[in-house]
């Protein structure tokens, strides 16, 4: 049974958006309705990434949308957030793909790259004809990226990279990897490197057996004596903070994206409760315990919308701090996961069937809660901002 999304706006949120922002959202919403929702359950069952949607997303300007020039759309951060909301209302996997392409590959090339690197990569990536991945996380260095073991040894004409990366979105379909490694030429500091994935010694293998993000490509990367030229160093990267700047871009998008997943779960649960009858032939929407769940969901989504918008406005003004983004990512992902669980409760046994999107969102959000900084890590980031004392 397909339940068409009816929108969500309990506090007249739309009055806070400009006409351009509403147009961007409606464009993304229509794209999801027409192209993603008809195929996503099959993709999820089969563990298939819907690569056929890449080119249309590029045509809409949804890759690197906040960047200026190089074929990019030059949108605001709020407009970017609204795109992420709608894509994740469809599925976290597609939003993850767009987040990586935009925030973790195009952004570092734009921010830290040479003019030659920008010219070579950004325009084809904006069109979706070239894809990228972001190689930071390692098998033994997740929440503590400073413990990475990947090394870049300098040679007369470039670098030789050795190391392993894990849980890399789009790894096996990428044309280029932004790889973070400790460079002996720079005193062991972490630097970013562009590694074309067809170079000898580079290998990407997909992770199988996932119960989450099944419509997304997740890979391990292996670099065994991979040789790259000097010009593949991202010249303006300066230590681990450069990688964390990229993560902040992605975390911001997540804070918006999960709103879409939460809205999808809430609207599905509300519509289901309005036609599902139990006890005295009444819709379960008339039961007190069901109403309490729906009210909690609607209240938390409304608060999370306002938080995401405020952080987006701060970002567009150049005022957003890293802890603002941690606050939004931590709160909104937690909220969305709780909404998914409550929606699953309301749907009862139907909550586990992919006739409805709830359990798919629930499973996806379990990963979203972990990646780009776990819930607990963002708790510590906020704790340090509040108290002035690092608890790491």
List strand residue ranges (DSSP E) for 184-296, in order: 189-196, 202-206, 218-229
- How many Cβ atoms sit within 10 Å of the Cβ of residue 159? 23
CA separation, residue 66 to residues 83, 110, 126, 318 (Å): 11, 11, 11, 13
SS3 301: helix
Which residues are registered as beta bridge partners of 152?
161, 183
SS3 238: coil
Question: Quick check: 237 and 191 in contact, CB under 8 A?
Answer: yes
- Residues 166 and 190: their CA atoms lie apart, in Å, by 17
Q: What angle do CA 320, 326, 327 make, to 5 degrees?
A: 90
Place of tokens 């749907």: 347
CA separation, residue 288 to residues 169, 170, 294, 295, 302 (Å): 42, 45, 10, 10, 21
- Residues 218 and 204: their CA atoms lie apart, in Å, by 10
Place of tokens 């973790």: 104
CA 29 from chain centre, in angstroms, equals 17
Active site residues: 372
- Residues 85 and 105: their CA atoms lie apart, in Å, by 20
């Amino acid at each position: 049974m397909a339940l068409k999304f009816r929108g969500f706006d309990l506090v007249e949120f739309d009055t806070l958006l400009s006409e351009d922002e509403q147009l961007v959202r409606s464009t993304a919403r229509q794209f999801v309705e027409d192209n993603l929702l008809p195929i996503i359950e099959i993709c999820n069952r089969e563990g298939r990434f819907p690569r056929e949607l890449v080119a249309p997303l590029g045509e809409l300007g949804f890759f690197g949308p906040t960047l200026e020039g190089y074929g990019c759309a030059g949108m605001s951060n709020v407009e970017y957030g609204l795109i992420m909301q709608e894509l994740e209302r469809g599925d976290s996997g597609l939003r993850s793909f767009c987040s990586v392409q935009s925030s973790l590959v195009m952004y570092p090339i734009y921010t830290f790259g040479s003019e030659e690197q920008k010219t070579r990569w950004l325009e084809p990536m904006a069109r979706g004809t070239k894809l990228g991945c972001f190689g930071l996380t390692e098998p033994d260095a997740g929440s503590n990226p400073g413990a990475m073991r990947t090394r870049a040894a300098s040679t007369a004409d470039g670098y030789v990279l050795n190391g392993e990366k894990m849980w890399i979105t789009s790894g096996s379909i990428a044309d280029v990897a932004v790889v973070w490694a400790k460079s002996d030429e720079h005193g062991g500091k972490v630097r970013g490197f562009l590694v074309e994935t067809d170079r000898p010694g580079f290998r990407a293998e997909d992770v199988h057996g996932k119960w989450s993000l099944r419509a997304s490509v997740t890979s391990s990367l292996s670099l065994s004596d991979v040789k790259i030229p000097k010009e593949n160093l991202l010249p303006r990267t300066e230590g681990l903070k450069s990688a964390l700047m990229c993560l902040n871009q992605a975390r911001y998008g997540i804070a918006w994206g999960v709103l879409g997943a939460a809205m999808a779960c809430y609207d599905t649960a509300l519509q289901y409760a309005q036609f599902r009858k139990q006890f005295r032939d009444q819709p379960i929407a008339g039961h007190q315990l069901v109403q309490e769940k729906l009210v909690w969901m609607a209240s938390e989504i409304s608060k999370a919308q306002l938080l995401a918008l405020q952080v987006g406005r701060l970002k567009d003004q150049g005022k957003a701090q890293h802890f603002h983004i941690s606050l939004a990512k931590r709160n909104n992902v937690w909220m969305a996961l709780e909404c998914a669980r409550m929606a699953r409760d309301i749907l009862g046994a139907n909550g586990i069937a992919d006739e409805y999107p709830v359990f798919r969102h629930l499973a996806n959000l379990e990963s979203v809660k972990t990646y780009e900084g776990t819930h607990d890590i963002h708790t510590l980031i906020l704790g340090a901002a509040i108290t002035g004392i690092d608890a790491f």
